[in-house]
Amino acid sequence: MDSKTPKTPAEICTSFAQLVDVFQQDWLSAICIENERQLPDEIPLNTTCIIAPCSNELPQKIISTLNVPDHLPILLVCLQGQTPQPTGTFPLIVDHLFLPAAIETLLCKKETLTRINTLAREHQNYQRGYSKELDIIYNFDSLTGLRNRRKFTADIIKAFATAKAAGSDLSLLFFNIDLLSEINENYGLDFGDHLLNQLAARATTIFSSAKNDSRPRCYRYSSEDFAFVLPGFSEQQSKIIGQKLQKRCSQKQFQYNDTTLKVTLSVGIANLRADTPESYEQLIFMAETALFRAKALGRNQIQFHSQYRKENSTAAENPVNLLKEKLERILVKTKTSAISSLQYIAKTSAGSEHDKHTQRLMYFTDILCQRMNLPTAAIKTFHNSINLYTSFRFMLYKEILKAPKLLNKRDRDVIKTLPYKIQELTEVFDYFAMERELLVSQTENYDGSGYPYALRGSEIPVGARILKLTDALAAMTGERAYREKLEGKEIIDELCNGAGIQFDPTMTLLILELIEKYQLVDVSPRYLAEKMDTLRTNLPNLIIV
């Protein structure tokens, strides 16, 4: 045994002073605190254990006075006759040692607590790194490195509450790349992702000179939209930020591999003082509305929500204008998001029958277009047209269409206004030009008896003739509020009787072939074959030149 260990007959440690003597020789990284006067100002980084007597006050004083790390164990030494305090009162790692104790016991305790300290430190470091990684995953966008929608929501709630309480200003600025969907279609998603990543990098440099704590943050709000939360910024100060964003895009083209492209930005701004929102949700809605307005007015511009409110304060309160106003707020992001929004509104107001009719109409149109070998781009336009047509029809005439009665003359006259209303509603958005031409002509009849222009034969766009036929088939194969779906023979008769009058006879024959091939209608094969033979025989007489 070392000459510096206690000189006791049985190598027994009987007092705290003897224990300190042992540990100061063999456990240099431990801190021994016998009373309050020995409390250190701070705990050294390499400390592996705190050793203290198990008195009534000292252990609690150590915990309350010192910033004891979670990984650092505390060894409480109990003399003979002392009762240890319950370890549940301490939030840290606590162990006890009862004296008298053999030196061998002290050294075993030292090894155990050193190992505990090492494991606890490793665990804490792992947790710290894991928490940081989780924070990045949870609050940051993986593509751009910007804070994500979740972090945006938390920060705008805090910023709105702070501005309201302090009576200070607050602006919210939304921006995105114009025609990003078309860019993705023409140049590929990789190029589109590169644009978003580079836009994020350019946006963050606007406030690079500001102190980190006070620097306004840029967020990726959605797949295409970005946002700046601007505490203390007025409308005009926010406009300067929007202009800087646009300038950073216009001055330097975006390049990826061998492709170089110049893009523009649309910007929408809402302001706490100018728009007086009652909640942070309203502020977000106002900024989105301003961005949609910038898109609707031609893109590559900055719009304030306050200006939008002034322009619409005296708008006439009629159904078309009200719907038009809603569309201006909903339909500008892209064709896809606009049509999805319309479908949702129509589904909400019309119920499941809207979905079922649209699905049947899509399917019949797809197989007819494939039979005619039409290109994919044309089929996509038909899909957009179908969604617009069915959504507008249900939203504008839902009371008539859902009534459990046959349409009377007044109802039919009201529904005849649909092409004109579709034209008016889609004029707001230039990217619906192809769909608009198709939909306005969808109510024309093959023999020239339709409306609005009394077109006949090949004067009617091909897409309009297709939708005229497939919409009729979708209607006849589905239930209506006033009737069950038609019998198979009735459907075939209606199609054949309408050939050359309502429907393009050649397309009618093709749809009959598809009915036979895919068994779309429950009808006798013999009856269907007879009707098709009759139609083929009469086909030359039905073609309008």
Sequential DSSP letters for 390-439: HHHHHHHHHHHHTSSS---HHHHHHHTTHHHHHHHHHTT-GGGHHHHHHH
Looking at residue 348, its pLDDT comes to 52
Is-same-fold flag (12-136; 335-542)? no
CA of residue 333 relative to chain centroid, distance? 13
Question: pLDDT, tens digit, for every residue of 458-470?
Answer: 899 999 999 999 9
C-alpha 418/C-alpha 75 separation (Å) is 85
**Lowest-confidence region among 21-25, 184-188, 230-234, 338-342:** 338-342
pLDDT of residue 169 exceeding 80, the answer is yes
Looking at residue 312, its pLDDT comes to 60
What phi and psi values does residue 266 have, to the nearest 5 degrees?
-105, 140
pLDDT of residue 315 exceeding 90, the answer is no
**Lowest-confidence region among 282-286, 337-341, 495-499:** 337-341
Beta-bridge mates of residue 49: 30
pLDDT of residue 339 exceeding 60, the answer is no
- May I ask the CATH architecture of the domain 335-542? Orthogonal Bundle (1.10)
Question: How many Cα atoms occupy the beta-carbon half-sphere of 349 within 13 Å?
Answer: 17
Looking at residue 524, its pLDDT comes to 94
| Among the listed residues 386, 350, 370, the one whose alpha carbon sits nearest the alpha carbon of residue 474 | 386
Largest CA distance in the chain: 128
pLDDT of residue 449 exceeding 60, the answer is yes
DSSP, collapsed to helix, strand or coil, labels residue 308 as helix
**Lowest-confidence region among 158-167, 186-195, 350-359:** 350-359
**Range of 318-322, 340-344, 393-397 with top mean pLDDT:** 393-397
And the tokens for 178? 């114009």
And the tokens for 338? 């606009």
Q: Is 88 exposed, middle or buried (0-12, 13-18, 19+ CB in 10 A)?
A: exposed
C-alpha 419/C-alpha 452 separation (Å) is 7
Contact 289, 278 (CB under 8 A): no
Please name the residue that has the structure tokens 């093959």.
Answer: 446
Domain covering 12-136 in this structure, CATH number: 3.40.50
Residues 239, 245, 246, 248: is their CA dihedral positive or negative? positive
C-alpha 258/C-alpha 515 separation (Å) is 49
DSSP, collapsed to helix, strand or coil, labels residue 1 as coil
Task: Taking residues 154-183, report their average pLDDT.
Answer: 93
pLDDT of residue 542 exceeding 80, the answer is no
Determine how many CB atoms are found less than 10 A away from the CB of residue 481: 11
Contact 289, 329 (CB under 8 A): yes
Question: pLDDT, tens digit, for every residue of 126-157?
Answer: 877 777 778 788 899 999 999 999 999 999 99
Please name the residue that has the structure tokens 């397309």.
Answer: 507
And the tokens for 525? 């094969």
Q: How confident is the model at residue 527 (pLDDT cuts 50, 70, 90)?
A: very high
- Per-domain boundaries in the chain: 12-136, 149-314, 335-542
**Range of 164-173, 286-295, 337-346 with top mean pLDDT:** 164-173
Task: From the options 3.40.50.300, 3.40.50.10490, 2.30.130.10, 3.30.70.270, give the CATH code of 149-314.
Answer: 3.30.70.270
What's the order of all strands across the beta sheet hosting 74-78?
30-32, 49-53, 74-78, 94-98
pLDDT of residue 435 exceeding 90, the answer is no
